Amino acid sequence: MKLTRKDVEKVAELARLEFSEEEKIMFAGQLNTILGYFDKLKELDTSAVETTTHASAISNVLREDKAGPSISSEESLSNAPDKKGDCFRVPIVIE
């Protein structure tokens, strides 16, 4: 697949970008070079390559979720700039 200047114009329009004619031609060429690399990759035999979802083999280390001691409401509200009862008061953000 070869991208044209018109394709670059369409993508630029969707991204709300403006390019000069020289830039459109340059970007079309650069994108076609990148797509050429994908065509080269398609030539490789990947049948023996295991499917992955991430580039590194690191997995999450999870711990058991268990309740522990926490601070009291009074202690958590002790530094609050504004409070009402057992609640933090914050400025209205939606009008």
Domain that holds residue 30: 5-42
Let me know if residue 13 belongs to a domain.
yes
The per-residue pLDDT for range 1-56, each reduced to its tens digit, is 789 999 999 999 999 999 999 999 999 999 999 999 998 988 999 889 888 887 78
Task: State yes or no: pLDDT of 62 exceeds 80.
Answer: yes
Q: Output the domain CATH number for residue 10.
A: 1.10.20
Q: In b/e form, how buried is each residue of 24-59, taking b as 16+ CB within 10 angstroms?
A: beebbeebeeeeeeeeeeeeeeeeeeeeeeeeeeee
Please report the pLDDT score of residue 56 as a whole number: 80
Please report the pLDDT score of residue 94 as a whole number: 85
Let me know if residue 62 belongs to a domain.
no
0.75 exceeded by the pTM?
A: no
